[in-house]
Amino acid sequence: MFKFVARRILMMIPVLVGVSFVIFSMLYFAPGDAADVILGDQATPADKALFRSQHGLDQPFIVQYLRYMEGVITRGDLGTSYVTRQPVTVEILQRFPTTLKLAALSTLLAVLIGVSVGIISATRQYSFMDNLFTSISMIGVSMPNFWQGMMLIIIFSVALRWFPPSGFSTPMHWVLPVVTVGTNASANIMRMTRSSMLEIIRQDYIRTARAKGQTERVVIWKHALKNALIPIITVIGLSFGRLLGGAVLTESIFSIAGLGKLMVDAIKLKNVPLVQGGVLFIAFVMSLVNLVVDILYSFADPRIRSMYTRPRTRKAPAREPA
């Protein structure tokens, strides 16, 4: 198990380097740089040149890239934001807890809705319930996020005054954004649950369990669901990972100071260190999530677990009885 985890962590490194290289190249070749944005158009070319030399923006491509990566690898320093002059690490860590909370709560909601609706759909395929739930969840996923968010604000904030319209500080603030993001994410999970369960239910061993006289509930929960979990866990993991990248639209509508909005604004401002640092951070966290998902696989499916663990042999006790 340990070797497996270590190897996976090792494989993350080229991916992270690749990610940073791709993003850096894109920003480098994009027209305009931080000097243009931050100084605005009231600045003279001399001012901009000074800004560029102060931040090393006039160095060639490879020098800038290597200098940045050197900082990351040797000091864990993700650079300094051109705009606020604060360490990128600080900026990211200030926003990350909010994004994490939003992602976690939304995924939780998505799992609750998605899995339960998926199971109902699968066990009563093509029935009225199946169609009804599938339709509702599909409506949820077909609506653009920001439209759904605005609708919720108008109904529940303005008209009913049940929840506050912006921010993310108190639990009351969490409800509307989490519902917006969660309902969207639930559809994929529902779909995967449904198709995975359908596949399992038709397997022979399910028929056997039923023939043996097991109640339907035991059949579904104990036998079917457990085996259907693997692809479902994959989708949940992917969903959560994607949300960590920031639900940009929801963050904009609800004025939530999250990672997604920070990143989009940084890209628009050509705030290269923040973009680099942010993307590296997000990629790292997403890879970790994937790793955790894979580890969970092994718990869910003993066949996979056996691939990664060595059989434990009992060692003879070191001390001989006197």
Partner 1 sequence: MKKKTFVMAGVILLVLAMSVQAADTGKKLSDTLRVATWEDLKTMDPQASNFASNWMVQLNIFDTLVFETQDGDVEPRLATEWKFMDDTTLEMKLRKDVVFHDGSKFTAEDVLFTLKRGKANPISASTFASFDTDNTVIVDPYTIRLKLKAPYAAVFNTLSSGRGSIVCKAAVEKMGADAFARNPVGSGPYKLAKWLSGSEIDLVRNDNFWGTKAITKNVIYKVIPEAANRVIELETGGVDGVFDVAANDVKRVKAMKDNHILMGDSARYMTLTFSMKDQLLGNKDIRYALSYAIDKKALVDSVYEGTAAVATGMYPSTVYAFKKEGMIPYDPVKAKELLAKAGYPNGFTMNFLIENREADIRLAEIIQNMWAAVGVKVKLFQMSASTYTAQGNKFQAGMRAGNANEPSNILIIYDSAFGERLEPNDTWLDKRLAAAKTIYDSKKRAAAYGEIQDYLYDVRYSVPLAFTPVIYALSNKVEGWDCDPLMMIHMAHVSVYQ
Partner 2 sequence: MSDTAAVSVKMKKRGQFKEIRRRFMKNKGALLGLCFIVVLVVCALIPSVIAPFGFDDQNLTQRFKSPSGLHLFGTDEFGRDIFSRVIYGCRISLTLGLVSVTISCGLGIILGCLSGYYGKIIDNVLMRIIDIMLSIPNILLAVSIVATLGTSFFNLMLAIGIGAVPGYARIVRASILSVKEQEFIEAARSNGASDWRIITRHIIPNCMAPIIVQATISIASAVLSAAGMSFIGLGIMPPTPEWGSMLASGRAYIRDYWYVVTFPGLAIMLTVFSINLLGDGLRDALDPRLKT
Residue selected from 91, 256, 287, 293 as contacting partner 2 according to rule CB under 8 A: 287
- As measured in angstroms, the least distance from the Cβ of 259 to partner 1 is 10
**Residues numbered 73-102 forming contacts with partner 1, rule: CB under 8 A:** 80, 83-86, 91, 94-95
Residue 236 exposure: Cα atoms within 13 Å on the Cβ side: 24
Helix (H, G, I), strand (E, B) or coil at 318: coil
Q: Which one, 158 or 322, has the nearer CB to partner 2?
A: 158
Q: Which one, 96 or 133, has the nearer CB to partner 1?
A: 96
Task: Give me 209's structure tokens.
Answer: 């369990």
How far apart are the C-alpha atoms of 191 and 138, rounded to whole Å?
A: 10
- As measured in angstroms, the least distance from the Cβ of 242 to partner 2 is 6
Candidates 107-115, 185-193, 247-255, 290-298 — which segment interacts with partner 1 by CB under 8 A? 247-255
If one asks whether residue 40 binds partner 1 (CB under 8 A), the answer comes out as yes
If one asks whether residue 268 binds partner 2 (CB under 8 A), the answer comes out as yes
The separation between CA 239 and the C-alpha centre of its own chain, rounded to angstroms, equals 6
If one asks whether residue 264 binds partner 1 (CB under 8 A), the answer comes out as no
How far apart are the C-alpha atoms of 286 and 304, rounded to whole Å?
A: 22
How far apart are the C-alpha atoms of 70 and 53, rounded to whole Å?
A: 19
Phi and psi of 246, rounded to 5°?
100, 125
Residue selected from 18, 32, 97, 231 as contacting partner 1 according to rule CB under 8 A: 32
- As measured in angstroms, the least distance from the Cβ of 193 to partner 1 is 35
**Residues numbered 246-265 forming contacts with partner 2, rule: CB under 8 A:** 246, 248-249, 252, 260, 263-264
CB 190 within 8 A of CB 114: yes
CB 320 within 8 A of CB 279: no
If one asks whether residue 8 binds partner 2 (CB under 8 A), the answer comes out as no
- As measured in angstroms, the least distance from the Cβ of 22 to partner 2 is 6
**Residues numbered 148-167 forming contacts with partner 1, rule: CB under 8 A:** 150, 153, 157-158, 161, 164-167
63-71 long-range CB contacts below 8 Å, 24 or more apart? 64/24, 64/28, 65/21, 65/24, 68/20, 68/24, 68/273, 68/276, 69/17, 69/20
If one asks whether residue 245 binds partner 2 (CB under 8 A), the answer comes out as yes
How far apart are the C-alpha atoms of 89 and 169, rounded to whole Å?
A: 22
How far apart are the C-alpha atoms of 290 and 216, rounded to whole Å?
A: 33
Cα–Cα distances in angstroms (integers) from residue 80 to residues 33, 61, 230, in the given order: 15, 18, 41
How far apart are the C-alpha atoms of 227 and 245, rounded to whole Å?
A: 30
Residue 69, contacted partner among partner 2, partner 1, none, CB below 5-8 A by kind: none
CA-only gyration radius of the chain, Å: 25
If one asks whether residue 228 binds partner 1 (CB under 8 A), the answer comes out as no
Q: Which one, 47 or 70, has the nearer CB to partner 1?
A: 47
Residue 91, contacted partner among partner 2, partner 1, none, CB below 5-8 A by kind: partner 1
The residues binding partner 2 (CB under 8 A) are 14-16, 18-19, 22-23, 26-27, 29-31, 125-126, 131, 134-135, 138-139, 141-147, 150, 154, 158, 191, 195, 198-199, 202, 242, 244-246, 248-249, 252, 260, 263-264, 267-268, 270, 275, 279, 282-283, 286-287
The residues binding partner 1 (CB under 8 A) are 30-48, 50-51, 54, 80, 83-86, 91, 94-95, 150, 153, 157-158, 161, 164-169, 252-255, 257, 261-262, 268-270
